[in-house]
Every structure is written in structure tokens, then in C-alpha cells.
Structure 1
Amino acid sequence: MPSAGVEILGMILAVTGWLGVMVACCLPMWRVVAFVGQNIVMAHIIWEGLWMSCSVQSTGQMHCRIYDSMLGLPHDLQASRALTVTALLLGVVGISLAVAGAKCTNCTRDLASKPRLVLLSGVAFVLSGLLLLVAVCWTANVIVLDFYNPLLEETQKREFGNSLYFGWAASCLLLLGGALLSCSCSCSRGGAGAGSPGNGPGTSAPPHPASHGSHAHTPSYSHTPSYSHTHYSAIKTLPVNGHERRDYV
């Protein structure tokens, strides 16, 4: 069935996007700043993520430090952390609903509720993709504004990290997967309605009898007996001129 193929493709894209959300959330590379001194040996790169910041020396040594306080983070990272975690939770809900409502699984015995579960999973994936897209675009907007701000020093200007690119790709996959799951639900409903007799276009429903399960009322007619012969009654009258006259009626 075409709807089953669309459903499987949507699930694959959505699950791949959810894995991308996890990578973007855990990878400490949302904002990157590079410090290059007079000596190339003293150059190092700082990665800033949602949960920690890492410093990479030019020699290859890396030191990571977890943030001590959430309130000490910039506002964009605080909002991105909340939105990304919510997107992860919505992805878990979407995966659970998609597995329960898939046509190739037997997680539920109510077959009529499977399309609704698939539709809800598609909505959950779309919301997850939108939340992640807002988080990534918010951080990217702050980076761009700070980069072109003439009041900031060069050491305070950041650039895009790899987590932002993972977030953009994951949000696109989530949106596309959720849309395909919703379309597969509508296609399955449309196919079921078109396959039932009398529901197709240009098909009229057969006429129904006036009453079901009751005896039809048959009009009663009064039959008048017909006579094949005509009966005459003779009336005897007085004789006229010696002859008897009979009148027949």
C-alpha cells in the first residue's frame, strides 16, 4: 500500500532527525571562538555548548568544564537549552506513538485508532522540529548581531559551531518526517473511504425500503363476483287476445 511506504519513510526521517537533536544537544559546539596570539603555539579554540564549555589547545589537549550555574549563561543559551530538551521529549512521544500506530506493528488491538496515533506522532515531530529550529535560529541571530557589533572586542565575537548545523539539519528532517506521517494518515483514510461500496464519486446509494423487518402493507380490494350468464326474471302479465305476454327484465 502506498500509505504504508510513506509511513515508513516518515518514521525513518523523523527518527534520524531526533538523533540529530540529541547530537546537537550534547555536542558542546554551539558557539566557537578562536584566540590566536603572536606565537602560534599559544593559539586555542573555545567551544561553548548548552551544558559545558571546552578549550582546545593548539597541541591537541582539550579541557571541558560543566557550567556551575544555569542562571550565569547568556539568555540565548538558556532558551536554547529549554527548547532543545522539550524537542527531545516531544521526539520520544512521537516515536512511541508512531510505533504504536504503525501498520506493521501489533502494539494495539484497536485498528481504528492506528491512524489517529500516526497523526498525533506526526504533529509531535513537527512541533519538535519547530522548537529546535527556534532554538538554533535564536542562537545564530545573537552570534550574527554580536559579530557585527562594533562595540565588542574581537575576543568577544563568536562564530557558528557544528551544533547549529546539526540542529538545522535535524529540524528539517523532523518537519519532513512529521509531514509525511500526517500525509500517510490522510491517505489511508481516503483509500478506505474510496474502497467502500457506494462511497465513491458518482455512485448513488441504493434505495432503501420504507420499513425494515416489518411486513409490507398490501392494499385490500373487494372483489365483486362476476356472472358469466345473465339471469332474467320473467313477469307474468295478463293475457292479451288469448295469448300470455311475458315481460323479461
Structure 2
Amino acid sequence: MVFLTTKMMQRTALFVTLGGLVTSLITTFLPLWKTMNSDLNEVENWFSGLWHMCLYTEEVGIQCKAYETLMGLPMDLQISRVLMLVSVGTGFLALLAAFAGLDGVEMCAGKPDLKRQLLVLGGVLSWVSGLTTLAPVSIVAYSTVVEFWDEGFPDVMPRWEYGEAMFSGWFGGLALVIGGTLFFVAVCMRKSEQRPPRVPNSLPLKHRTKNYLKTEVL
């Protein structure tokens, strides 16, 4: 393919990683991880995130309150907080390392080996960022399902359900993993372009002409 060059692959990987990082950052502070509404009072909707608990009513609108204590939170929310912060930090470092390793960037110019190592480092950090985004979202999703189908709660008691932030977190984590994979693909493409052309094993034999000396017998 003519347009699928190493530079194009590098920039595509950087763009996908940036999109995944922004989505994960928004998901981290978005109070829409879980939602709950009651059949007895349909005008009230509850929203739960990693940092806030919100209540929405038609008369007042949305009101949010931060959690008062960290130790009182469920274990899944505590683990999710740490993992999401690690995801944002490693994703930011992945962008810095990968940007320095891009072709056409003045940084580390004249050092192709160092640029290749920076791209590999950016891909690894992007993978770590994606996995540390997918893990907490999946943990909260699992605990939500377990609590929803818990037979110990009365049927009239409202249950927590998935919020929009759950799906944005899965999307952001997947984008970070794909971005890291594209960085590895770009490194492999650069190696193939820098590889010297193959020399054929056997050269074609040239036809030899025999020169005969013509002698005359006297």
C-alpha cells in the first residue's frame, strides 16, 4: 500500500494513543460509573463515580458530593482509583516517549537506535496504560453484576447498574492497547525499510565465446 508508510503508522499510533488517554482521563473523573433509580421515586437518579456521588432531580438539577473518607469506600473503588491514576500517568509518559521517537522530530535526531527504543518504550507504556484502564472498569463491572443479582437484597430495593463511564473506560483502554500495538508495527516497518536489499545467491553465467586460432598448413 502506497499510503501505509512508517511515518503514517507512527502518527496513527500517536493519534490513537492520545484519544485513548483523553478518554481514560475523562472516565477517571466522570461520576457516571454506576447509575441507580427507584421505581417508587422515578424523578430521582443516583450516579456513583470514583470520587463523587451525585443526585439528579428535575427540580434542583444535579448535585454532587465527594466521598468523605477513603477507607470507608468499597475495595473495588479503592483499587480502581489507584489503577486509573496509574493509567493516566503511564499514558502521558507513553506519549512523551513516542513523540521523541517519531521520524521527522528534531529530538534525538541522528540516533536511529535511540528513536527505535523510544518507540518501543512508548508502545510498552501504552499497553500498561490500556491494561490499567481495562482492569478497574472490569472490576467495577463485575462487582455491579454480583450486587445486582444478589438474592439477599429485597426485590423492592433499587440496584446499581452500568453507567456511561463504564463503556467509555472500555473504549479508552482498548484504544490505548491498539495504539501501543501500532507503535510496535511501526518499529517493524522501519526495520524492514532499513534492511539492505538481498543479493542473489548466484549470478547468471555469462556466455563464453571461444576464440579459435586458424592455422594454415603450407
The alignment's TM-score, normalised by the length of structure 1, stands at 0.75
Within a 5 Å distance, the mapping from 1:53-72 to structure 2 comes to 53-59=53-59, 61-72=61-72
Mark the runs of 5 or more structure 2 residues left unpaired by the alignment.
203-218
Mark the runs of 5 or more structure 1 residues left unpaired by the alignment.
205-249
Q: What's the Cα RMSD here?
A: 1.7
Contact 1:33 1:155 in 2 (8 A): no
Deviation at 1:201, TM superposition (A): 6.6
Runs of 4+ in 1 over 2 A off after TM superposition: 35-38, 109-112, 153-156, 200-204
C-alpha spacing 1:191/1:63, structure 2 compared with 1 (3 Å): same
Equivalent residue letter for 1:25? T
Within a 5 Å distance, the mapping from 1:1-249 to structure 2 comes to 2-37=5-40, 43-59=43-59, 61-109=61-109, 110-153=111-154, 154-155=156-157, 157-193=159-195, 196=196, 200=198, 202=200
Higher relative contact order (CA 8 A, sep 6+): 2
Contact 2:33 2:50 in 1 (8 A): yes
The alignment's TM-score, normalised by the length of structure 2, stands at 0.85
Equivalent residue letter for 1:5? M
Structure number with larger C-alpha Rg? 1
Deviation at 1:61, TM superposition (A): 1.5
Give aligned-pair identity as a percent.
Answer: 23
Cα distance between partner residues in 2 of 1:60 and 1:183: 52
C-alpha spacing 1:89/1:80, structure 2 compared with 1 (3 Å): same
Cα distance between partner residues in 1 of 2:201 and 2:112: 27
Deviation at 1:112, TM superposition (A): 2.5
Contact 2:38 2:158 in 1 (8 A): no
Which residue of structure 2 aligns with residue 210 of structure 1? none
Count of aligned pairs between the two proteins: 197
Cα distance between partner residues in 2 of 1:89 and 1:35: 38
Cα distance per residue 1:31-64 (max 9 Å; x no partner): 11112426x5xx3111111111111113351111
